[in-house]
Amino acid sequence: MTLILIVLLPFLMAALPRLAGRAHRRRCALLAACAPALSLALLLAHAPAVFDGTVLQAGGPWLPAIGLNFTFMLDGFGFLFALLILAIGLLVILYAHYYLSAQDDPSRFFCLLLLFMGSMLGVVLSDNLLLLVVFWECTSLSSFLLIGFWRDRSEARQGARMALAVTGAGGLALLAGVLLIGYITGSFELSEVLDQREMLQGHPLFPLALILVLLGAFTKSAQFPFHFWLPHAMAAPTPVSAYLHSATMVKAGVFLLARMYPLLGGNDLWFLLVTGVGLVTLVFAAWVALFQQDLKGLLAYSTISHLGLITLLFGLDTPLAVVAGVFHIINHATFKASLFMAAGIIDHETGTRDLRRLNGLARYMPVTATLVAVAAAAMAGVPLLNGFLSKEMLLAKTVAIDTGTWADWLIPVMATLAGAFAVAYSLRLVHDVFFNGEPVGLERTPHEPPRWMRVPVELLVVLCVLVGVMPNLLVAPLLDVAVSGVLLGNVPEYSISLWHGFNLPLAMSVVALLLGSAIYFGLQGGYNLHLYRDDGVSAKRLFDRLLETTVSIARLVTGGMQNGSLQRYLWLMVAVTLAAGALPFFLDDYSLGDELLLPTNGAAIAMWLAVVAATVATVALHRRRLLSLIAVGAVGLLVSLTFVLFSAPDLALTQLSVEVVTVVLLMVALRHLPATTPVEGSLPRHLRDALLALAAGIGMAALAYAALTRPLASISTYFLEQSVPKGGGSNVVNVILVDFRSFDTLVEILVLAVAGLTIHALLSGFAAPGRGPVPDPHEARPLMLRVLARLILPFALAASVYLFLRGHNEPGGGFVAGLVTAIALLVQYMASGRDAVPGRAHAGAPGPAAPPGEEGFDRWIAAGMFSVGLTGLGAVLIGFPFLTSSYAYFDLPLLGKVPLASAMFFDVGVYLTVVGSTMMMLASIGRVTTVPGQPAGPTPPAPDAAARAVRMEAS
Amino acid sequence: MELLLASGIGVLTTAGVWLLLRARTFPVMLGLTLLSYAVNLFIFSMGRLAIGAAPVIRDGVERYADPLPQALVLTAIVIAFGMTALLLALSVRMGYDSGTDHVDGRGGGKP
């Protein structure tokens, strides 16, 4: 549990700095430091167990169906990373407190920083690979927000976007790779997957999985050719650069390499890709770093180069190289974070990071100069500092390569060369900033920073020295346990020491030191690095070009497809659906089954003829709208007769009542629409539509016929058997609706309720401009209808109560009862005018009383949804899942022995919602009033307008 | 019997799609209604056809109509009703707002 808290605390406490408000920087920083301090304490509490070699695990299932579990694992390697993240995080918070200016919002900054910290901890402590990917994406997102912290600066926004695009794309590749690994090994838990190396590497999909995972690692760790986002990420505030873009986030890539090494390493492809990319990055970035004019740019390229070095070490594929890699991760984090913070101090005190203007600062800030000089020496690999030790190990490992190819000599030579470049750029950093003449055009005289702003730098630099002098005392146990985590306990024999005697690696170190000094002073003296201008083909330009092309292609496609015509979208949609539906017809054979068919009888043929006739009439008469509406009503009635024929009385009842309501609604709407449809559209267009319609019809008929002639394997036996014992009702359809699948029904009536409310919002109180139907208070209502309607109402309501009560055992139920009630009210409406409806609703039906106006029906809907939700929650209250139902038998007069299920209350809710929504729709549409005396509303377009419409359609 | 139902579904679909692709709102609503009949019958037919089968549980009865497609179709009928009603309200409002009942709002008095 405490293990999970280590990761969750930064997330949980991320909002704390927000509480302090932007005006209190100190309070923000203090609150922000709480989470890492607590997490660090928890982590250290686990230290004894971790150093004993146990692997701690915690967590539980999250979405077990897809293999995503909320599981965490703490071993030595995870411990090392968590320690780096939390310790450097604390230092960065302290540093940022002094770094941020009065204009910056510290609460937002620290909140984002904590979110990042939690994500990073999640990456290094996740046991589940999918969870790791989730946190991985979180680091990309929080990095995006932090790079873009100064959102008013365009280079910050661009840099943030570029970092997100590159690392986000890499994250997708990683996800794909992880899914492949899970597919091959059958598990997403790191602790289980790591044992399955043989099986995974023997699989034909292994190379693909390897490349995808490496893509994720390389983009995150800014390896060539994906390195270009990191220099642009330097637009971030410097604490962010120190924390994310040198010490932690970019290390996530090499972390992944190390984590996956036991699983994915040990084959030629791994060696080739990881070593190759690492080597190119190491040399290339070290060379480019030399020519940067921006202080942070130099550090960024140096970071890329060092990440290349670590990548190279993991690529070498020997246990000893892994030791060196892990060691360099620790060392690089200490000296590079201190250098970045020092760069921030210089920027803070002088107002610039331009190496051409920063000169001779040693006189103004001697302490900072000393600190930077020591850290830079560590970066260059000068003896007695930590950088020397790991670099020496690297050189020894490159010498030890024995593949029998040209790589045996190429890699040591390139490594020495990169070492020389590192010496050169470190020299430039120190020499150019603190010596080399006088500062140029500074706005103010620089001086030392506030005391506590320098403390984090001092601490880290002291660590550099101490580790460099006494490696075995300080860092060996941590390194040991971390390496044992990477190599699954098989730690090789190794020794860290300052002096291994005169050997080849030492000679290479000396060569690098001398050559590097020569390169720097040679370049600076003969050529003056300050005059160098970078105007070649940059990766940024390529990236921008790629982005622009993608956007313009997307725009072309969207613009070509979407011209704003709904009619066009509709036919495209039908065509695409049709194509998708037609594909199986052509890929597989279309064949009929050999089930016994039902014999045809005369009634069925008559009904078929009637359906066809009514349908044809609907189409043929569709220009005369009232007639076609009547035809459509006929089709609906015939459909409900079809349900009667095929033993589905529930459907027949529902279809019948829905039909009535729909036709009435359409009739009411027709008062607001033109009575006829004009002739329009070109011949080719009609042909195309006819073709689509015919194809759709033939396809549906063929599909239905094929299915009907094949044998049926239904899961309905379960519902038929369990309906009475479990649901307490013999009407299986109703029991399915209100019990077995009641959640579906809940959402369904929700849809109905939303439809009703939306119609209300669209039309309620809408005064239509134009020549619609003018309300006539003295409009004559047919006397017969008025009288009949009054008479019918009680009977209809009684019928709906009856249908409702018997619904659980006989055809009926909440839906039908609701619709019958609605129809009864509808008849009142038609007979007595719209004002009659709410009054009837008030007098005639159960449920809350409706106040005047159609707004009363929203209460019906609310009461219905409330009743449904309450039924569901009732089950939760007594300890069952949502919507579990129970029942008991009761004796009721007239109806006999009736099982009263809790589902009954659910059905009451269905009833109320159906009545409320239906009446809401009708009342809203019926109440649209028109303002008389204004010019025309929707009328059939005049001939010239029609002609214009035709032309537009044809285009 | 099966052929009758399948061809009926085909006829309803053809008419529904044709009307759905018309330019005015009212035929589109009619088309949607016809199409929903077709789809409901189609889903219903997936439980196969049974004449004279018992729809509710009775002692001693062996042959029942498949209740699952029926429950699905019952839901579908109600949803289709809600959708038609919403479309109807939209077209009434759009008719007044744009001055035309063309689905793309063309040829009306207002832009």
Question: In this predicted structure, what is the pLDDT of residue A769?
Answer: 63
- Mean pLDDT calculated for residue range A479-492: 86
- Asked if the C-beta of A576 comes within 8 angstroms of chain B's C-beta atoms, the answer is no
Does B47 have pLDDT greater than 50? yes
Is A570–B20 a contact, with Cβ atoms under 8 angstroms apart?
yes
The mean-pLDDT minimum among A125-129, A253-257, A377-381, A832-836 falls in A832-836
Q: pLDDT grade, residue B34 (50/70/90)?
A: very high
Q: In the structure, what pLDDT confidence band is assigned to residue A730 with cuts at 50, 70 and 90?
A: confident
Asked whether the predicted pLDDT for residue A725 surpasses 50, the reply is yes
Q: What angle do helix axes A856-877 and A742-763 make, rounded to 10 degrees? A: 160
pLDDT in tens, A516-564: 998 888 888 776 777 776 655 577 788 888 888 999 999 998 888 888 8
pLDDT tens-place string over residues A916-928: 999 888 888 877 7
Task: Indicate the average pLDDT of chain A.
Answer: 85
Confidence (pLDDT) at A893: 61
Residue A3 has pLDDT above 70, yes or no: yes
The residue written with tokens 């054979």 in the block is A589
Residues A836 and A834: their CA atoms lie apart, in Å, by 5
Q: Which residue has the tokens 């609605």?
A: A822
Using alpha carbons only, give the angle A59, A65, A71 rounded to the nearest 5 degrees: 15
Q: How far is CA A707 from CA A711, B6, B35, in A?
A: 8, 10, 19
Q: What percent of chain A has pLDDT over 90?
A: 37
**pLDDT higher than 70, residue B71:** yes
Res A897: pLDDT: 60
Identify the band that residue B59 occupies on the pLDDT scale cut at 50, 70 and 90: confident
Q: Of B93, B97, B96, which is closest to residue B85 (Cα–Cα)?
A: B93
Q: Do A769 and B96 touch (CB under 8 A)?
A: yes
Q: Is the Cβ pair A763, B89 closer than 8 Å?
A: yes
The pLDDT score that the predictor gives to residue A776 is 53
Q: Give the model's confidence band at A900: pLDDT under 50 very low, under 70 low, under 90 confident, else very high.
A: low
pLDDT in tens, B35-44: 999 999 999 9
Among candidates B6, B18, B64 on the partner chain, residue whose Cβ is nearest the Cβ of A701: B6
Residues A96 and A455 sit within 8 Å (Cβ to Cβ):
no
Q: What value does the mean pLDDT take over residues A105-134?
A: 93
Range with the lowest mean pLDDT among A289-298, A388-397, A893-902?
A: A893-902
**Mean pLDDT computed over A507-515:** 89
In terms of CA atoms, which chain A residue is nearest residue B66?
A: A716
Mean local confidence (pLDDT), A216-233: 90
Mean pLDDT of A370-374: 92
Q: For residue B41, which residues of chain A lie inside 8 Å, CB to CB?
A: 639, 642
| Confidence bin at A834 (pLDDT 50/70/90) | low
User: In this complex, do A770 and B99 lie within 8 Å of one another by their Cβ atoms?
Assistant: yes
ipTM score of complex: 0.94
User: Which pLDDT value is given to residue A656?
Assistant: 93
pLDDT at A122 over 60: yes
Which A residues 754-773 touch B at CB under 8 Å?
755-756, 758-759, 762-763, 766, 768-770, 772
Q: What is the distance between the alpha carbons of residues B96 and B92, in angstroms, rounded to a whole number?
A: 7
Q: Is some CB atom of chain A closer than 8 A to the CB atom of B18?
A: yes
Mean pLDDT of A111-125: 94
Q: Which two tokens stand for residue A619?
A: 């189409």
What is the C-alpha separation between A286 and A520, in angstroms, rounded?
A: 12
E strand or H helix at A323: helix A319-350
* Interface residue A495 vs chain B (CB under 8 A): no
Query: Which of the four pLDDT bands, split at 50, 70 and 90, describes residue A779?
Result: low
Cα–Cα distances (Å) from A164 to A124, A138, A148, A542, in that order, read 20, 11, 11, 16
pLDDT of residue A780: 60
Q: How far apart are the first and last CA of chain B?
A: 52
Residues 713 through 752 of chain A touching chain B, CB cutoff 8 Å: 714-716, 719-720, 723-724, 730-733, 736-737, 741, 744-745, 748-749, 751-752
Hey, is A499 helix, strand or coil?
coil
Note the pLDDT of residue A729.
80
pLDDT confidence tier of residue A836, bands split at 50, 70 and 90: very low
Q: Which secondary-structure segment (H or E) carries A422? A: helix A407-434
Q: In this predicted model, what pLDDT tens digit does every residue of A688-707 receive, in sequence order? A: 999 999 999 999 999 999 99
CB A749 within 8 A of CB A909: yes
Using a CB-CB cut-off of 8 Å, the residues of chain B touching A737 are: 71, 74-75
Point out the residue among B88, B92, B104 whose CB comes nearest to the CB of A565: B104
Residues on chain B touching A692 (C-beta within 8 angstroms)? 17, 21
Residue A378 clears pLDDT 70, i.e. is over it: yes
Provide the pLDDT for residue A948: 45
Interchain pair B57, A723: CB under 8 A: yes
Residue A611: the pLDDT is 93
Measure the CA angle with vertex A219, ends A216 and A223; round to 5°. Answer: 125
Please give the pLDDT value at position A180: 94
Query: How many Cβ contacts (< 8 angstroms) between chains A and B?
Result: 325
Q: What percent of chain A has pLDDT over 70?
A: 91
CA of A612 vs chain B CAs: smallest distance (Å): 7
Q: In this predicted model, what pLDDT tens digit does every residue of A441-463 receive, in sequence order?
A: 777 788 888 888 889 999 999 99
Q: Which pLDDT belongs to residue A249?
A: 87
Interface touch A766/B45, C-beta < 8 Å: no
Question: Among A549-553, A578-582, A675-679, A747-751, whose mean pLDDT is lowest?
Answer: A675-679
Note the pLDDT of residue A937. Answer: 44
Q: Say whether A700 and B38 touch across the interface (CB within 8 A).
A: yes
pLDDT interval class at A837 (50, 70, 90): very low
CB distance from B111 to chain A under 8 Å? no
* Phi-psi group of A596: left, alpha or beta (phi > 0 → left; psi -120 to 50 → alpha; rest → beta): beta
Q: Which of A290-299, A479-488, A921-930 has the lowest mean pLDDT?
A: A921-930
Q: CB of B14 within 8 Å of any CB in chain A?
A: yes
In this predicted model, what pLDDT tens digit does every residue of A594-632 receive, in sequence order? 877 888 888 889 999 999 999 999 998 888 889 999 999
User: What integer pLDDT is reported at residue A849 of this predicted model?
Assistant: 37
- Given this model, what pLDDT does residue A612 score? 93
pLDDT band per the 50, 70, 90 thresholds, residue A206: very high
What residue of A is the nearest CA neighbor of B24?
Answer: A677
pLDDT value of residue A535: 57
| DSSP code for A290 | T
Is pLDDT at A838 greater than 80 in this prediction? no
Residues 6 or more apart whose Cβ sits within 8 Å of residue A330 = A80, A84, A386, A467, A475, A478, A479
Residue B36 touches partner A, C-beta closer than 8 Å: no
For residue A87, the model assigns a pLDDT of: 93
Give Cα separations from A388 to A379, A392, A498, A653 (angstroms): 8, 6, 8, 87
